Structure 1
Amino acid sequence: MCREGARLGLKGLDFVGPADWPLLKKYGLVAAMCSGTTGINHKENHAKAEPQLVENILRAAEAGWPNVIVTFAQRKGLSDEEGLENSVAFLKRVKNVAEDKGVTICLEVFNSKVDHPDAQADSTRWVVEICKRVESPRVKILYDIYHMQIMEGDIIRTIRNNIQYIGHFHTAGNPGRHEIDDTQELNYGAIARAIADLNFTGFIGHEYTPLRDPLKSLDQAITICDV
């Protein structure tokens, strides 16, 4: 995948484990999104999640990688305000490590209608509010366009209004989470142009399940977003 990704013009790959980082470097690629931790909206997860995230930030920094992902657990009866407060308290404790090491913590949004029932981080507003309260340039959003199309729509306006809080993007076609071509409803060419016009310098990661030849599909996705 590293060889073919480099051939197709990719700059990096998401979620490549440390064992394969030498391969990324061999082909001039970046580990664009590394593992961080999960479940920070629930206090009972903090004791395990905090050292795990700190370790992963340090590991990413040592390798020269820019981002780690943090995800949220299901609500399980937790109010949005309580989940938000728990997440903010957690991130305030670790943000100095991220700032010191130059690694961005990216908070992923999900849809709770189709793929992740009861997901708490299912709105842009909720995760933006976390970023505002944490007040760190190293705590941002992994804005998954597919997930937010399902929950909210209005993708380009939302990106424009919140670009200062976005650190990474994911794509996929909707419905189905497959190719981002004209078989689905999102205009990824227009979305990519809007992102480029905002001088975004991070990564757009393609996170979909192809229905046809994976490399040809990926090549097309790269072309669509190469604006």
Structure 2
Amino acid sequence: MSADPQGITRREALGRMVTAAAFGATAALAPAERVFAANEKAAAGRLKQSLSRWTSKAPLPELCKRLKAIGFVAIDLLYADEWATVNDSGLKVSMGYPARRDDFIAMGFNDPANHATLLKELETTIPLAKQAGVMNVITMFGNRRPGIDDSQAIDNCVAGLSKIAPLAAENGITLCVELLNSKVDHHGYQGDHTAFGVAVMKGINSPNVKLLYDIYHMQIMEGDVIRTIRDNIQWIGHFHTGGVPGRHEIDSTQELNYHAIAKAIADLNFQGYIAHEFMPAQADPFASFAEAFKTCTV
């Protein structure tokens, strides 16, 4: 093979040209995204990673562009009027809201007085989600009510969610009911332990109604995260992350080994999404998002 006067072969020269072209395509990205855009293997992990919309102040089109460059495949917790923007960017919506309400968390299926409103919202949203390719829709267990203990609340949740499960199944949608902590962030929330959520799931026994297992919240309430996930993976449809304490980065500043947790989830052949839901403490939030992505790439 011939060489130029500087001793570079044609193959080497072509290689440099390809490298330069690739660099030009990523040079406009911030350093955090550029590292991952240049490393195709970074996006080839076994878990589908998403980011909760509320964690970033960036306009949604910009957020889509920058997350896609890092390797994320979806954005989480979006309202119906935001779904098209994400879909048009080439990303997926990993979780949709059925309604905009200030009492969205507090108003759940644990109280029969809420069922009519919640069912109407879901009956409206589920066909829209199917049309938009949004496979998961969030709902809540709700805050405690006088006279409704855990046993009655479980029965109420089973009764209410069982009414909407057939429509979810018909449309290929999974309703994800979130477990939250009642110790720090959501005082009074009734679905604050995995056992409560699993009891509801067993009562419904539908592949279209699952738990949203928020790792941050359950670490605060009960710990033993990996064992709990392994024992209950059949009832879990979605994951959220967040550093404990403080709900910041999932790095060495907090008490959980998220790389080990991600590996445990992937080893269970989990096919859903793991969505990062923390408040970045670093000056560059996208550096935090990129680090979280790397941590959970297994």
C-alpha offsets along residues 136-194 of structure 1, whole Å, 9 cap, x if unaligned? 00010000000000001000000000001100000000000000000000000000000
Where structure 2 has 5 or more consecutive residues not aligned to the other structure, the ranges are: 1-62, 100-106
2: distance between equivalents of 1:19 and 1:55?
14
- 1:224 matched residue in structure 2: 295
2: distance between equivalents of 1:132 and 1:102?
20
2: distance between equivalents of 1:36 and 1:204?
20
2: distance between equivalents of 1:196 and 1:161?
14
Deviates more, 1:135-144 or 1:33-42: 33-42
- 1:215 matched residue in structure 2: 286
What is the CA-CA distance between 1:68 and the residue it aligns to? 0.3
The one-letter amino acid of 1:25's match is N
- 1:104 matched residue in structure 2: 174
- RMSD over aligned CA atoms reads 1.0
- Contact kept in structure 1, 2:182 and 2:192, CA below 8 Å: yes
2:115 aligned with 1:53, yes or no?
Answer: no
- Contact kept in structure 1, 2:80 and 2:97, CA below 8 Å: no
Aligned length: 227
What secondary structure, in the 3-state scheme, does the structure 2 residue paired with 1:36 have? coil
What is the CA-CA distance between 1:135 and the residue it aligns to? 1.2
2: distance between equivalents of 1:225 and 1:173?
13
TM-score if structure 2 supplies the norm length?
0.75
2: distance between equivalents of 1:184 and 1:205?
18
- 2:135 matched residue in structure 1: 66
Larger radius of gyration: 2
2: distance between equivalents of 1:168 and 1:36?
16
What is the CA-CA distance between 1:18 and the residue it aligns to? 2.3
Percent of residue pairs identical: 48
2: distance between equivalents of 1:165 and 1:131?
6
- Contact kept in structure 1, 2:250 and 2:256, CA below 8 Å: yes
2:138 aligned with 1:76, yes or no?
Answer: no
C-alpha offsets along residues 88-140 of structure 1, whole Å, 9 cap, x if unaligned? 10011110000010000001001011111111000001111111010100010
Report matched runs for 1:1-227 at 5 Å: 1-36=63-98, 38-77=107-146, 78-212=148-282, 213-227=284-298
2: distance between equivalents of 1:52 and 1:116?
23
What secondary structure, in the 3-state scheme, does the structure 2 residue paired with 1:143 have? strand
C-alpha offsets along residues 16-65 of structure 1, whole Å, 9 cap, x if unaligned? 22222222122211110001364111111111111101111111111111
What is the CA-CA distance between 1:207 and the residue it aligns to? 0.5
- 2:58 matched residue in structure 1: none
1: distance between equivalents of 2:155 and 2:98?
19
- Contact kept in structure 1, 2:138 and 2:178, CA below 8 Å: yes
What secondary structure, in the 3-state scheme, does the structure 2 residue paired with 1:34 have? coil
TM-score if structure 1 supplies the norm length?
0.97
